[in-house]
Structure 1
Amino acid sequence: MSDNAFDLIVVGGGPGGYVAAIRSAQLGLKTAVIEREHLGGICLNWGCIPTKALLRSSEIAHLIRHAGDYGFSVSGFTIDLPKIVERSRKVAAQLSAGVKHLLKKNKVTVFDGHGRLNGAGKLSVEKDGKKLADLTAKHIILATGARARALPGLEPDGKLVWTYKEAMVPKEMPKKLLVVGSGAIGIEFASFYRGLGVDVTVVEVVDRILPVEDAEISAFAHKSFEKQGMKIITGAAVKALKKSDNFVTATIESGGKSQDITVDRVVLAVGIVGNVENLGLEGTKIKVEKAHIVVDEFCRTGEPGVYAIGDLVGAPWLAHKASHEGVICVEKIAGLNDVHPLDVRSIPGCTYCSPQIASVGLTEQAAKDKGYEIKVGRFPFIGNGKAIALGEPEGMVKTVFDAKTGELLGAHMIGAEVTELIQGYTIAKTLETTEAELMHTVFPHPTLSEMMHEAVLAAYGRAIHY
């Protein structure tokens, strides 16, 4: 096999692409990755990881303000925005370098450029308009990810109207901020900026924030955010943005009424679209619907030998979903016998706002809509000793069970560290655990995880501490 011939080539080095490449190399396939910008992709460089670094700074600012509650006297602290941003960028750079090391360690060849299909089993690599290489591969995985969606009349300009990228590296702190969209991305930025003292308004087109979450969790979050001073307008649409030199006036319509809000900056968080352009899909049997590539349960496209994974193939747009798809896709290509399609019902979702939100499986309403007879359990943070000791008594854990079989259909959480706790329920779903096994499981005391046990007991009228 020549230097430019491979068993498998991955186009895109994000959390789906680089994981697929490493797994491919582990299985003995000669593997390459083509990445045009940053190894680690959007998630590692401009998404999941650096935003958590920003949110950590916001959390610390909150703790300093409430230091007196814990027996400390702090006065006169200032926010060093450049330092906050610098730390976030260093975290991203460190992890990107880590991905580079992992690919080298696994003997994956990396091409720095833009990959494009160029016939059956062929790829061309270009950089700055110049061709770098012509490659061949028996199998090609497209993992080019997605980008922020822009709405007509609300296009980002990088100065006054931001996407997530500009929102992550502000040169100065806005006094007033408008966030358009209340999904995970929008709410995380709203939480970050509000935690640092910014006057934040969130506009959501549907009738509640965090619309993919359980309605009860969504309502809890709404009240919590408003309590923090965040302004939230639901069932509303931003109809126009009128820009001045250093501020924006947004026209917002809600309930048949219109109002103008003037802010320093606007963050657009209205969804994402797949990066399907300039991939050489023309003339192939690859089907694109709503800016995403259509695949089967093993990530195969309509074109033989070509696969697609991650945000490129649609919801849920989560890094861990992309990574898992990459592993499934490669293991199927390698001919492993125990490969199972991804069950999206067992993919946890996390939002790292304050309070945190995490969920897996069906919401209460979705379970009812599917015809299940259900049992629902709830347990509040205020009933948990560890939560009170931490000074984090705000939150709840909710479980949804099939009343007939005891199957755990869904779990929904809001409060401190729930993004770390949700994996317990995710494992339970993967193992097809029933309420009986969960009830018989011993949870350590004192921990936040005890609420997970109590929420199961509560579904069957057996909660002890509430």
Structure 2
Amino acid sequence: MNSDKNLHIAVIGSGGAAMAAALKAAERGARITLIERGIIGGTCVNTGCVPSKIMSRAAHIAHLRTESPFDGGVSAQIPKVDRAKLLQQQQTRVEELRDAKYEGILRDQTAITVLNGEARFVDANNLVVQLNEGGEQNVHFDRAFIGTGARPAEPSIPGLVQAESANDAQAVKALATDSSGALLVLRDS
């Protein structure tokens, strides 16, 4: 196995790609400084895939409860959505996954130092981190990995501008059901 012993690698970001790079480099003997300006875990676990899939699953379950495969033999009910409880369940699951897949792993990695702040390159081997709690920290590195994540892109589909997007789980303002039992996701404007 190749060794990266004595290398210091700056990893900017903490999503899936950044974590994989940091862990592989640590496994090979490098020291890592991982810099995250927001919440550890990146887009998928915090605001993208995980929260949106939880809401999609809730909508699917609500839909299943409004129809009966036995027609008149079993009556279906329009579900009552407890928005606060559903959002709390979503947040709890996000926090569990963030801890299991990111924070818990980082806690056990002595070769990885986490800095919470925003990185700015000074030159090819130095960056300065504006720390979230105030102040700055200089980081000298041999190599850098930039894994700063993704944002949803709106495809150019005619009429899409007028449609609501479900890309931002944080923008969910309310959940409701209509007369057919469909789960409606209402967003902040």
Q: Shorter-chain-normalised TM-score: which range?
A: 0.7 to 0.9
Q: Which runs of 5+ in 2 are unaligned?
A: 1-5, 156-160
Tell whether 2:89 aligns with 1:82.
no
- Count of residue pairs brought into register by the alignment: 174
Q: Which residue of 2 aligns with 1:412?
A: none
Q: Aligned partners of 1:96, 1:46: CA distance in 2, in Å?
A: 11
Distance 2:57 2:143 in 1: 41
In structure 1, give the amino acid aligned to 2:91: R
TM-score when normalising by structure 1? 0.33
**Residue 144 to residue 76, structure 1, CA distance change in 2 (3 Å):** closer
Unaligned runs of 5+ in 1: 177-193, 201-263, 268-466
Kindly state the Cα deviation for residue 61 of structure 1 after the two structures are TM-superposed. 0.9
Query: Match of 1:97?
Result: 99
Q: Which residue of 2 aligns with 1:227?
A: none
Specify whether residues 134 and 60 from structure 1 end up closer, same or farther in structure 2 by C-alpha distance, changes over 3 A only: same
- Kindly state the Cα deviation for residue 74 of structure 1 after the two structures are TM-superposed: 4.4
Residue identity matched to 1:171: K
Alpha-carbon shift at residue 105 of structure 1 (Å): 1.5
TM-score with structure 2 setting the length? 0.75
Aligned partners of 2:123, 2:146: CA distance in 1, in Å?
14
SS of 1:173's equivalent in the other structure is: strand
Structural RMSD (CA): 3.5
What is the Cα deviation at residue 174 of structure 1? 6.6
Instruction: Flag the structure with larger Rg.
Output: 1
Q: What letter is aligned with 2:97?
A: L
Q: Give the whole-Å Cα distance in 2 for the aligned partners of 1:175 and 1:56.
A: 15
Partner residue in 2 for 1:197: 183
SS of the aligned residue for 1:18 comes to helix
Matches within 5 A, 1:113-132: 113-128=117-132, 130-132=134-136
Amino acid at match of 1:109: T
Q: CA deviation at 1:173?
A: 3.0
Q: Does 1:141 align with 2:127?
A: no
**Aligned-partner Cα distance in 2 for 1:120–1:168:** 36
Q: CA deviation at 1:106?
A: 2.4
**Structure 1 Cα separation of the partners of residues 177 and 146 of structure 2:** 41
Correspondence for 1:19: 20
The offset of 1:197, in angstroms, is 3.3
Q: 1:117 is matched by which residue type in structure 2? A: F
**Which residue of 2 is the match for residue 60 of structure 1?**
61
Give a deviation string over 1:391-425, Cα, whole Å, max 9, x none. Answer: xxxxxxxxxxxxxxxxxxxxxxxxxxxxxxxxxxx
Amino acid aligned to 1:34: I
Distance in 1 between residues matched to 2:48 and 2:97, nearest whole Å = 12
Residue of structure 1 equivalent to 2:30: 29
1:18-417 counterparts in 2 under 5 A? 18-69=19-70, 73-75=75-77, 77-98=79-100, 99-107=102-110, 108-128=112-132, 130-149=134-153, 164-165=167-168, 167-173=169-175, 196-198=182-184
Q: 1:62 to 1:162 in 2, by over 3 A?
A: closer
Aligned residue identity for 1:48: C
Q: What is the percentage of aligned positions where both structures have the same residue?
A: 26
The alpha carbon displacement at 1:196 in A equals 3.8
1:428 matched to which residue of 2?
A: none
Which residue in the other structure is 1:290 paired with?
Answer: none
